[in-house]
Amino acid sequence: MMQEGLDDGPDFLSEEDRGPRAVNVDLQTDATLQVDISDALSERDKVKFTVHTKSTLPNFKQNEFSVVRQHEEFIWLHDSFVENEEYAGYIIPPAPPRPDFDASREKLQKLGEGEGSMTKEEFTKMKQELEAEYLAIFKKTVAMHEVFLCRVAAHPVLRKDLNFHVFLEYNQDLSVRGKNKKEKLEDFFKNVVKSADGVLVAGVKDVDDFFEHEKTFLLEYHNRVKDASAKSDRKIRSHKNAADDINRIASTLYTLGTQDSTDLCKFFLKVSELFEKTRKIEARVAADEDLKLADLLKYYLRESQAAKDLLYRRGRALVDYENANKGLDKARAKNKDVLQAETTQQVCCQKFEKISESAKQELIDFKTRRVAAFRKNLVELAELELKHAKGNLQLLQSCLGVLKGDT
Amino acid sequence: MSEERGSSAQTEEDEDLFVSAMESPEAARLSAEDLSPSSNGPRDDDPDDLFAEATEEVSLDSPERQPILSDGPSPAITPVSISPRVDVFDRSPDLDEEEEENRDTFDIQISVSDPEKVGDGMNAFMVYKVTTKTSLSIFSRDEVCVKRRFSDFLGLHSKLASKYMHMGFIVPPAPEKSIVGMTKVKVGKEDLSSVEFVEKRRSALERYLLRTVKHPALLKDPDVLQFLESSELPRAVSTQALSGAGILRMVNKAADAVNKMTIKMNESDAWFEEKQQQFENLDVQLRKLHVSVESLVCHRKELSVNTALFAKSAAMLGNSEDHTALSRALSQLAEVEEKIEQLHQEQANADFYLISELLGDYVRLITAVRGVFDQRMKTWGKWQDAQLMLQRKREAEAKLQYASKPEKLQQARDEIREWEGKVQHGERDFEQISRNIRREVGQFEKERVKDFRVVIMKYLESLVHSQQQLIKYWEAFLPEAKAIA
């Protein structure tokens, strides 16, 4: 019965959740092109995002319009950027992760099965919690898809991409099918080759100090962000578990309060009420830490990977350029195919220089964005932690006051 | 009807407690006349003995008390001077209240401290220092220090249980044995878990003694006094039987006996039925709560560990960050998280030592309470059995009237008199235990209310402290985060 409720695809976004969210990145909202996800619908195994665009650019037929897109279509767009040679010199905004409601759904299902074995209050409580968890995951996935689009819209070059415009405007299904097995296998091998290659390329010492520094920095940074992201997830998980325990304790205290024949009955009821409230706050603390810290780290894990990919592409271009130079020297020495070698060398040189130029700017922008995002999120994290701790404190002190007065 | 008590340690003799009157032939011999102070026979827990002395006035500070301590008597046998105490309980309710007031203002402090390992390997054991500070006159000194080991505590509990439980007194249970915990300590593992184990045990032993002396009857018990004051204590034997579980098994035998009763007790007093139900419900809920709290302790400890790991990771991230201000902020974040880890650890300890242990204690206490209710039913059963026996003896006598066997007839008449006495005792015992239980339960509930109130308030205050610290830490961090430029 519960599954049906979800399948009806209720609109989970309240009024306050609409509008540009840009959770993890500090982006300038540019009037010429504004993109956001105004609505989202959750169906059995897919999520439908309503992508809403406002633009004064002449490229579009209207100034304001919306289309419905699914996750696969975002991936298609991302992959089209990656595969485009023209964009080799840019940090491609990382693709949003696949919406994953499996765990949440499983829990809801288990709850439904176990309905008979618990009291009505317990059941309702747990159901509310699981629904809240589902909602939180839902909001997150919406935010991550939105951030991707905003990044693209904010990028001076990518925003002009034709595929992007089609994505925003074409109001039919893009008929983008997910990759089949063969294609997935190809991807896998591509990645293997790329990482092996990446190691070779990384070994090439760069004459340019800036890039040499960035290479060293990004490698270490990426690994550390990965570790911090994993550890913060574990920490938040423990926090949620503790909040769940407090929930159970509150329930049992309530029962004790209703059963006790001594003065303790009022006492237990009051404390039970307190724990109900503080538990909600603890759950909010865990959720906010998740949003402001864990998600931030996850995002920069993906972005730092995208930056590494950029460096890899530049490194690849550098190797090609150096090889072309060697080839030219050889051709000149043998006086054979010199023109061809010269052309190759020129092409490689241009490619390399083009990538280097834009890569430098991209990496500087990356740092600016990163610092701004961390600043915003750390400040908001601290403010929320303070807000919740003060809330908790007030509840505790007021309860203590009442209990002391009762004696 | 008297129970034979040699040493309290032997399980077989524990069985005797619950053997019905009919099965012990020796019981028939003891009658009221035998129970004078001068007789050799009195057994401390023989209810006949105590009630018979009801008219004898002996002050609590009687010098008769001293010989008990200096003679080093066998643990379980406590001479007649106990009776005045019982006498007190026999009096009108007015005096009970006065006594209860005294309970609230009693002045005795007991601490268990300085655990010391004695010996090596599997024969090693921990010795604890027990310090008693008091102004009560039953103690020979204002301050006494003795060294005791865990089995000594178990021995004390076993003696008290065997003496008082069948009278309806709620005897606080001793802490549980733990083979795993102790083995680690014996083997010499100095790690955190053995240290925690010893501290947990020390704390439990202290609570046990405090609860025991809170009970006015137990406070004045010579075994308790000996335990607290005497520098040498005869080694309690056969601690298998003395374990908390052993005593509970003994108590449960009462429950079994009750279940085997052919005539189910007709409860004329709704109070007992009501109370039994309440304690059953309380048992269920406290156990549930205990499980949840233990889970909370576990998760908070986990949270503490994971916060520490995250703190280190954040510090590393800060190190590799090449923007100076952000790098500093991340290091500050790492420091905040480290401090928070400490908070979580402290909170987990509070969860445990305050709430979890309290709940564990009460789960065991309630088992003892329910045991006492079972004892009452046993006592009723004995009374009924005596009545049946009397009836049979009367019938037998009636038959003998026409059989012209004068000695047999006389014997039958003697037996009738004897069983009339037993029926009387049975009824008195039943009324006595019912009275005792009412009073004990009243006191128990009072203590329970106080205990829970005090502990939960302390716990809430620890939560308040945690939040105040959190606020301090984040307030210090906020400007650092804002300073990122």
Contacts of B319 in chain A (CB under 8 A): 224
The C-alpha of B366 sits at a distance from chain A's nearest C-alpha, in angstroms, of 14
- CATH number, domain with residue A251: 1.20.1270.60
Residues of chain A contacting residue B323, judged by C-beta atoms under 8 Å apart = 367, 370-371
Distance in Å, alpha carbon of A131 to nearest chain B alpha carbon: 23
- Measured distance CA(A85)–CA(A100) in Å, rounded: 31
B317–A224 C-beta distance less than 8 A? yes
Q: Percent of chain B at pLDDT above 70?
A: 71
Alpha-carbon span B65 to B69, nearest angstrom: 7
> Distance between CA atoms of A373 and A298, rounded to whole angstroms?
12
> Which residue of chain B comes nearest to A221, CA vs CA?
B320
Q: Closest CB to B482: pick one of A370, A379, A390.
A: A379
- Is B232 strand, coil or helix? coil
Across residues A59-86, what is the average pLDDT?
92
Read off the pLDDT band of A230 (50, 70, 90). Answer: very high
Distance (Å) from the alpha carbon of A60 to chain B's nearest alpha carbon = 38
Q: Which of A119-128, A297-306, A340-349, B286-295 has the lowest mean pLDDT?
A: A119-128
ipTM for the predicted complex comes to 0.85
Does A224 map to a domain? yes
User: Which residue in A has a C-alpha nearest to residue B283's C-alpha?
Assistant: A256
Residue of B nearest to A225 (CA): B317
Q: Do A228 and B314 touch (CB under 8 A)?
A: yes
Q: DSSP string spanning A249-282?
A: HHHHHHHHHHH--STHHHHHHHHHHHHHHHHHHH
- Partners of residue A218 in chain B, C-beta under 8 Å: none
CA nearest to B26, candidates B54, B46, B9? B46
CA-nearest residue to B295 within chain A is A245
CA distance to partner chain A, nearest, from residue B299 (Å): 5
Judging contacts by C-beta atoms under 8 Å, the chain A residues touching residue B464 are 393, 396-397, 400
Q: Min CA distance, B136 vs chain A (Å)?
A: 29
Residue A317 CB contacts under 8 Å (≥ 6 apart), including other chains? A88, A348, A351, A352, A355
CB pairs under 8 A between A and B: 157
Partners of B449 on chain A (C-beta within 8 Å) are: 262-264
* Among chain A residues, CA nearest to B470: A389
Residue A357 lies in a domain: yes
Contacts of B292 in chain A (CB under 8 A): 245, 248-249, 252
Kindly determine whether residue B470 and residue A385, on different chains, have CB atoms separated by under 8 Å: yes
Tell me which residue in B285, B313, B453 faces A407 most closely, judged by beta carbons.
Answer: B453
In a mutagenesis test of the A interface, which of B281, B285, B301, B482 is the best target, namely the one with the most A β-carbons within 10 Å? B285
Distance from A272 to chain B by nearest Cα, in Å?
Answer: 11
What gap in Å lies between CA B39 and CA B60, rounded to an integer? 22
pLDDT of residue B250: 62
Quote the pTM value.
0.77
Mean pLDDT of chain A: 85
In this predicted model, which residue has the larger pLDDT, B71 or A175?
A175
> In the predicted model, what is the mean pLDDT of residues A66-76?
93
CB contact under 8 A, B449 and A407: no
Q: Which residues of B touch A298 (CB under 8 A)?
A: none
Q: Which residue of A has its CA nearest to B452?
A: A264
CATH number listed for the domain at residues B105-246: 3.30.1520.10
Residue appearing with tokens 């490229």: A59
Chain A positions touching B302 (Cβ under 8 A) are 238, 241
Asked if the Cβ–Cβ distance from B326 to A227 is below 8 Å, we say no
Whether A2 shows a pLDDT value over 50: the answer reads: no
The pLDDT assigned to B243 comes to 56
**pLDDT above 50 for A188:** yes
Q: Do B326 and A231 touch (CB under 8 A)?
A: no
With contacts defined as CB-CB under 8 Å, which chain A residues touch B299? Answer: 238, 241-242, 245
Q: Give the per-residue pLDDT at A75.
A: 93
What's residue B248's pLDDT? 61
Residue type, A281: I
* pLDDT (0 to 100) of residue A64: 92
- Cβ distance of B316 and A255 shorter than 8 Å: no
Using an 8 Å CB-CB cutoff, list chain B residues near A262.
445, 448-449
Q: For residue A28, which phi and psi values (nearest 5 degrees)? A: -75, 125
Least confident of A128-132, A270-274, B301-305, B455-459: A128-132
| A374–B329 CB contact, under 8 Å | yes
Q: Report the pLDDT value the prediction gives residue B142, as an integer from 0 to 100.
A: 86
* Facing B313 at nearest CB: one of A228, A262, A386: A228
Confidence of residue A4 (pLDDT cuts 50, 70, 90): very low
- Do the domain assignments include residue A80? no
Cβ atoms of residues B257 and B381 within 8 Å: yes
Q: Which CATH superfamily is domain B270-484 in?
A: Arfaptin homology (AH) domain/BAR domain (1.20.1270.60)
What local confidence, expressed as pLDDT, does residue B236 receive? 65
Give the end-to-end CA distance of chain B in Å, rounded to a whole number.
90
Q: Do B460 and A382 touch (CB under 8 A)?
A: no
Question: Residue A40 is inside which H or E element, if any?
Answer: strand A33-43
Split into its structural domains, chain A has a count of: 1
C-alpha distances (whole Å) from B384 to each of A222, A364, B395 are 83, 95, 17
Q: Which of A122, A238, A289, A303 should we substitute to test contact with B (largest number of B Cβ atoms within 10 Å)?
A: A238
Residue of chain A nearest B355, judged by CA positions: A249
Would you say residue A21 has pLDDT above 80?
no
pLDDT tier at A112 (50, 70, 90 boundaries)? confident
- Of the candidates A238, A371, A392, which has its C-beta nearest B326's C-beta? A371
Residue A138 in domain: no
Name the most confidently modeled range: A105-114, A179-188, B160-169, B237-246: B160-169
Residue to mutate among A217, A231, A300, with most B CBs inside 10 A, is A231
Contact state of A231 with B309 under an 8 Å Cβ cutoff: yes
What was the pLDDT predicted at B187? 72
Within chain B, all domains assigned CATH 3.30.1520.10 are found at 105-246
Q: Among all chains, which residue has been given the structure tokens 């002996």?
A: B58
Q: State the pLDDT at residue A46.
A: 84
| Positions of chain B with pLDDT lower than 50, given as ranges | 1-96, 98, 101, 104, 241
Residue-level pLDDT at B251: 61
Domain that holds residue A264: 204-406
Asked, for residue A69, whether it belongs to a domain, the answer is: no
* A chain contacts of residue B286, beta-carbon cutoff 8 Å: 256
Residues of chain B with CATH 1.20.1270.60: 270-484
Contact call for A400 and B470, based on CB within 8 A: no
Nearest CA of chain B to the CA of A375: how many Å? 6
If one counts every other C-beta atom within 10 angstroms of the C-beta of residue A300, the result is 26
Amino acid identity for residue B339 in this structure: K
Interchain proximity A389–B295, CB inside 8 Å: no
Do B313 and A241 make contact, defined as CB atoms within 8 angstroms?
A: no
Residues whose CB falls within 8 Å of the CB of residue A206, separated by 6 or more in sequence, listed in order: A212, A215, A315, A318
Nearest to A393 among B307, B452, B471 (CB): B471
Q: At what angle do helices A338-406 and B324-350 cross, to 10 degrees?
A: 40
The DSSP annotation for A181-248 comes to: HHHHHHHHHHHHHHHHHHHHHHHSPPS-HHHHHHHHHHHHHHHHHHHHHHHHHHHHHHHHHHHHHHHH
CB contact under 8 A, B299 and A238: yes
Q: What are the backbone angles phi and psi of residue B208, rounded to the nearest 5°?
A: -60, -45
